[in-house]
Amino acid sequence: MRWGWAIALALGTFALVALGRKQEPKMVYELDDKGLVTLSPGVSVVTLSPDAMDAWRALVKAWDSPLVVKDSYRTTTKGEHSKGNALDVTIPLEYRAGKAGTIEWRRRFVGAAQRAGFTAFGLGYGTIHIDTGPARWWTYKSGKDIGYPAKLEAEFSDRVPPEFAAGGNAVPDLTGVA
């Protein structure tokens, strides 16, 4: 059986929650000032870059509900995850692609993330990738990036806010979205 981990943040405290068939006990811990988190004693440490940590803290403070991190630091990939600059945030079930309110939720989330300092966004079905690397955006299917202009096709219209489509390949400024 394959297990995943999620980091839930509520009121400044992180809870590690196992994702899978069996529910495991929650492990509560806090990040230190350098962005280091021990997931379980002596087993794994997650590191976020200072810029990503500052942006994450600002986003959490500004966002109106708990955020669940599906994935952050990876040693096996190239790109912003391996640099400690990226997080994949789980979209609440009621706002997954194809459901009422999903576009508005994504607009609000991206705007809040931009105000916090994030610059890049991967718009998945149930996940939004955020990072502090070069400004860019994409959408993906089955874990694979859908290139431009395919990412603007009708198949992805339930996950791509209209400002993204209108801006083509550029990241739109949604900082003014409430």
Amino acid at residue number 68: V
pLDDT at position 77 is 65
Provide the CATH number for the domain around residue 94: 3.30.1380
Number of domains in the chain: 1
- Range of the structural domain that residue 76 is part of: 4-166
**pLDDT tens, residue order, the chain (178 aa):** 333 344 444 333 343 333 333 333 333 334 555 554 433 344 445 567 889 888 988 998 898 888 887 765 555 667 887 788 888 888 999 999 889 889 999 999 999 999 999 999 999 888 899 999 999 999 987 777 877 777 878 888 889 999 998 888 899 999 999 7
Cα–Cα distance for residue pair 173/27, rounded to 1 Å:
37
Please check whether residue 55 is in contact with residue 46, taking contact to mean a CB–CB distance below 8 angstroms: no
Cα–Cα distance for residue pair 163/86, rounded to 1 Å:
22
